[in-house]
C-alpha cells in the first residue's frame, strides 16, 4: 500500500502528464507551499461550539465581507414583501425560485407580487 505522499505524488504526476506539463520550477513550488501554509484555517469545526445566535452573527459578518445585502425581518411572513422591495430597488425582475425546503415552502409567497 502506498503512503499518502506517494499516492498524492502519483495523482499529481498523472494530472501533469495529462496536461502535458512537467514539474514546477523550485521557485514556483516554494511560492505555492508558502501560499498553502498561510491560507487561513477553516473555522467550520469551531462553529459547532457557539450558540445559534452567534452562528447567525458569524454568517452575517462573513457574508458582508463578500458585499452581500443583509436584511433582517421579524418573521417568515415578512419575507415576500422584503424580497419584492429589494428586487424593485435593484431594478431586478420580480421572479423568485424557492428551494424545496419545508420552511421556505410554508411561506405565503403570494403576500407580495413577485
Q: Is the pLDDT of residue 100 over 70?
A: yes
Q: CA-to-CA distance for 95 and 98, rounded, in angstroms? A: 10
Residue 12: which residues within 8 A CB-CB, separation 6 or more?
Answer: none
% of the chain with per-residue pLDDT over 70:
95
Residue 57, pLDDT score: 92
Residue 40: which residues within 8 A CB-CB, separation 6 or more?
Answer: none
- Give the model confidence (pLDDT) of 15-61 as tens digits: 988 888 888 889 988 998 898 888 776 667 777 788 999 999 989 99
Q: Is the pLDDT of residue 86 over 60?
A: yes
Query: How would you class 93 by CB atoms within 10 Å of its CB: exposed for 0-12, middle for 13-18, buried for 19 or more?
Result: exposed
Q: 101-107 long-range CB contacts below 8 Å, 24 or more apart?
A: 103/76, 106/76, 107/76, 107/77, 107/79, 107/80
Q: CA-to-CA distance for 9 and 4, rounded, in angstroms? A: 8
**Mean pLDDT value across residues 59-73:** 92
Q: CA-to-CA distance for 53 and 58, rounded, in angstroms? A: 9
pTM for this prediction: 0.53
Residue 44, pLDDT score: 72
Of the two residues 42 and 100, the one the predictor is more confident about is: 100
C-alpha cell at position 93 = 425582475
Do residues 112 and 96 lie in contact, with contact meaning Cβ atoms separated by under 8 Å?
A: no
Residue 112, pLDDT score: 84
| Residue 6: pLDDT band with limits 50, 70, 90 | confident
Amino acid at each position: 500500500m502506498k503512503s499518502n505522499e506517494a499516492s498524492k505524488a502519483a495523482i499529481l504526476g498523472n494530472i501533469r502528464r495529462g496536461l502535458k506539463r512537467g514539474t514546477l520550477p523550485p521557485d514556483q513550488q516554494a511560492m505555492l507551499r508558502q501560499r498553502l501554509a498561510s491560507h487561513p484555517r477553516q473555522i467550520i469545526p469551531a462553529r459547532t461550539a457557539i450558540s445559534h445566535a452567534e452562528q447567525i452573527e458569524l454568517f452575517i459578518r462573513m457574508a458582508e465581507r463578500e458585499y452581500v445585502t443583509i436584511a433582517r425581518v421579524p418573521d417568515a411572513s415578512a419575507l415576500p414583501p422584503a424580497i419584492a422591495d429589494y428586487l424593485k430597488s435593484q431594478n431586478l425582475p420580480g421572479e423568485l425560485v424557492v428551494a424545496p425546503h419545508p420552511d421556505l415552502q410554508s411561506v405565503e409567497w403570494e403576500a407580495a407580487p413577485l
